[in-house]
Structures are given as C-alpha cells and as structure tokens.
Structure 1
Amino acid sequence: MAEVFTRPTGPIGGARTSGALDQGLRSFMLGTYNYMALGVAGTAVVVMLLMANPAVMQAIALGPMKWVIFAALLGLGWFAPRLFFSGSTALAHGAFWAYCALWGVLISPMIEMFVARGLSGLIGQAFFIAAATFAATSLIGYTTKKDMTGWSGFLSMASIGLIIAMLVSFFFITDPGTSKTVSLLISSVVVLLFSVMTAFETQAIKSMYIENASHGSEDALKRSSIFGAFMLYGSFITMFIHILNILGLMNSDSN
C-alpha cells in the first residue's frame, strides 16, 4: 500500500495567481512529475537487479523479509512529513529514493512470477492502464476548482481499512475461490481509491507550492517538490500493482 499520513493541504479553489506564479507553478509541477518518473525508473532497475539474483528473490518471496520491507514502507509513509520538512534537502532525497527502492524489492517477486508464467504482456498492459489513469486523475486534481482539502481524513482512514482488509484476507481466508474473489474486490477498490487519492494529492501539491512561493525559501520549494513526487509515486505504484493483480486474476479465470 502507499503511504498513509496527514498531508499539508490548503484550499486553492478559485485562487487568483499572477502570471509569474502560474509559470512558477508549471515549472514546479513539471519538476515533481520528473522526480516521480525517475523514481518509477529506479524501482524498475531494482526489480531487474533482483530478478537477476534468484537466491535473493526467493529469500524475499518466501522469508520474513517481505514483512520487514512492508513495515518499512508504512513507516516511511507515516513519518514522511517530518523527514521531508524538518530536515535537509539531502534527507528528503534519501527518503524518496529509499522509498522507491523498497517498493522495488517488495514487488519484485510478483513481477518475477508474471514473467515466469509467460505473462510479461500483462505487466506492460497494467503499466499503461495505470499511467493513463494516473495522468487523467492528476489532470483533474490540477484543474478542478473544487476544494478537496476535507477529503484527507476519509482517504487516510480508507487506506488504513484496505491495509487491514488485505492482511485479514492473506492470513485468514484459505479457500482459493473465496480468496480470489476477495482479492479481486480489494484490488478494484484500491484502484478506485488511489485514483481519487491522485487527484487529491495533485491539488495538495499545488497548495504547497502556492504557500511556499509566497513566503518560503528555495530549499522549502525543493523539498516540497520531492515530497510531492513521493506522494504521487506511492499512488501510482499502488494502482499499478493492483491493476496487474486484476489482470492476472482475470487471465487465470479465462484459462
């Protein structure tokens, strides 16, 4: 799952900005998306490196290490605001790249399983669908005049609920047919939730820029950009994983 934390937000609906502020915002958002894209590329590199080391891959897939990584991801998500806004730009970079690397380690067994079963095409399909969904919902968040600030509590609680639902499904549902149905339902809800989350986060990132551009420093803007990439990356990778799971389940039903 992606991070669960309280995000710094502020109302931006109907805000009037100068031409300079608009130009600065576009540059800021472009930098945020570039950081995110580099993070996705970094995750892909980690996955490929692990797939080239079967022994390490097996240890991650079958051992307790995956739970350690899962806990580390949740911890990074929870403490992200402190790491990004109470420290230095170097610390913000370190937290972001560690987050991307941990996701690469966590999802590598899943990617390897699809490749081993000759379903590599589904990986590409899932990535394309996730990218298209992300682009559409992020554009909505960037352009909408509706203030989404009040959605923070609901989105955080829904994310926690889904984490609990996945853990319950993993540990307590043993019937294969029931497990598949529950997995499909959870993944569908996750994709829907994180589509909304992407729009919410994009608007929050705009708000952070407007606040920091008014009375912040260049360093604060830099950390805000990296933090924005951190949020958007988490939502994108979560959508990708669960879209891939949906495609895999649908493919197994058709065979």
Structure 2
Amino acid sequence: MANWSDPRPTASAFGASVPGTRGTAYDAGLRKYMLSVYNYMASGVLLTGIVALLFASGGRDSLAAQVFLAPGILKYIIMFSPLAFVMVLSFGINRLSTGAAQMIFWAFAAIMGLSMSTIFLVYTGSSIATTFFATSVAFLSLSLYGYTTKRNLQAFGTFLIMGVVGLLVASLLNLWVQSSALQMGISAIGVLLFAGLTAYDTQRIKEMYSYVAGTDMMGKAVIMGALSLYLDFINMFQFLLSFMGNRE
C-alpha cells in the first residue's frame, strides 16, 4: 500500500519523463492528478469560508456568537472536532474507501468553517478579505516553486515538521502565560513554517504520483494531498491574520 508520508524522490527528477519509460501519457496523468488535488483543496477552502460566513452572519446576534461567547463545552467540541477528522484520514486512509475519504474531507472542511467563524466576530471583513488575498498569492507562488524546483526539499521538510511540533508546544504554553509578545512570535514563526511546508508538501504530493499512478489508491492520494495543502493554506492564513487583521 502507498505510504502517504513517504518523502522519497521518484526515479526521475520530480516527475520528468524518462526516455523509454515515461512520456506524454505520464506527464498528462501527472497534470490531471495535481489538478484534482488543487481542485479538492480549493473547494475545501471555499466550503470552509461559506460555512464560517453563514455561521457568523449577524455579528453579535449570530449563531457563532451564541456558541463561542457563551459558557459550555459546545464551543470546545467544535474547536477540536477538526483534529479528529484529520486523525481519521491520516491513520485510517488505507482502510477507508475513496468515497468515504471524500465524505470525511468535506465534513472536515465544513466543521473547520464552524470553528473559524469566530474570525468574523474579531476582525473586520475587509481585513479578512485582504489577508485571504495575500495568503492566496503567497500560497500559489510557494506551491509553484515546490512543483517546479529540482531541489530535493526532504531534509527541509523534516526541519519544518519539527518546527510545527515546537510551535504547537509554544501555543499550548501561551494558553496559560497569555503573553502578547509570545503570541506575535508564534504567529511570525507560524507564517514562515507553513510557507515552507506549502513548497515541501507540493513536491511530496507530486512525487507520490509515481507510486499511485494506475492504482486504486489514486483517489485516496488526491484527498490526502488536498488535505495537506488545505492545512498549509488555512494555518498560514490564520497566522497572517494576526498581523494583518484589524479588530472590530
């Protein structure tokens, strides 16, 4: 079975054709595969945005305000539910059918929308739109670099993943410390880490095509690739919003 975290390079240089073994058919298949990944990722981001906007519609009188500004455990369930979906996809993908993986991905994107609806209660709509545009431009540029570069980003990716673990520990620590300076530092490092992961994950997803091309694992690879890029985009957006967002 395919190893979804396998960062090994393929026999050729990042999907380039090898005379006698790979040609236009391989290149066309790779383009179709990557386009599917980007389509799923973009659709997931769009679904998250629509759900967040609808849930927060009405400002302080919205459903989001009633849930997140009121006491109770419901807000914590919504906040941590996306993590459960990621765990199911990451550790159970080989046991899931392609259809089930797709449904879980869409459910995850929708729940993320509920969780992220709070940004509309905190930041102005114009600053959210500006940050989203900036994130989109940065994401496209970094993903294009990851797709086209001939440099092996595997060692770079290992460093970035270790950095994300450290970032998570620092974020948990700041829940008790409540330091604004530490939060700004976390946001700055977070932007850099997920910017780098965007390039790394794009290259890794591209390389994965060699392992799943022509197999029944292709659909699952597309979903897992879309999930990785979705998380890179959303995290980069949230950290950037800490700098660029204007509060209500």
Q: Structures share a fold, TM > 0.5?
A: yes
User: Is the 1:7–1:152 Cα contact (8 Å) retained in structure 2?
Assistant: no
Is it true that 1:89 corresponds to 2:98 in the alignment?
A: yes
Q: Distance in 2 between matches of 1:81 and 1:167?
A: 22
Is it true that 1:26 corresponds to 2:31 in the alignment?
A: yes
The alpha-carbon deviation at position 79 of structure 1 amounts to 4.1
CA gap of 1:142–1:244, structure 2 versus 1, over 3 A, is same
Q: Distance in 2 between matches of 1:128 and 1:42?
A: 16
CA gap of 1:61–1:86, structure 2 versus 1, over 3 A, is farther
User: Is the 2:68–2:75 Cα contact (8 Å) retained in structure 1?
Assistant: yes
CA gap of 1:222–1:61, structure 2 versus 1, over 3 A, is farther
The alpha-carbon deviation at position 61 of structure 1 amounts to 4.4
Q: Distance in 2 between matches of 1:67 and 1:157?
A: 26
Q: Which of 79, 84, 100 is the equivalent residue of 1:75?
A: 84
Point out the structure with the larger helix share. 1
Coordinate RMSD, CA, aligned = 2.1
Over the matched positions of the two proteins, sequence identity in percent amounts to 34
1:188-212 C-alpha deviation (Å, 9 max, x unpaired):
1111000110111101111111211
Q: Distance in 2 between matches of 1:198 and 1:65?
A: 32
Structure 1 runs not aligned, ≥5 long = 1-5, 174-178
Provide the TM-score with structure 1 as the length reference: 0.83
SS in 1 for 2:92: helix
CA gap of 1:206–1:182, structure 2 versus 1, over 3 A, is same
Equivalent residue letter for 1:21: Y
Q: Distance in 2 between matches of 1:111 and 1:234?
A: 20
The alpha-carbon deviation at position 76 of structure 1 amounts to 3.1
Structure 2 runs not aligned, ≥5 long = 18-22
User: Is the 2:142–2:196 Cα contact (8 Å) retained in structure 1?
Assistant: yes
Give the 5 Å matches for 1:10-49: 10-12=8-10, 14-15=13-14, 16-17=16-17, 18-49=23-54
User: Is the 1:84–1:91 Cα contact (8 Å) retained in structure 2?
Assistant: no
Length, aligned pairs only: 233
Aligned match of 1:130: 135
Equivalent residue letter for 1:195: A
CA gap of 1:9–1:91, structure 2 versus 1, over 3 A, is farther
Aligned match of 1:181: 181
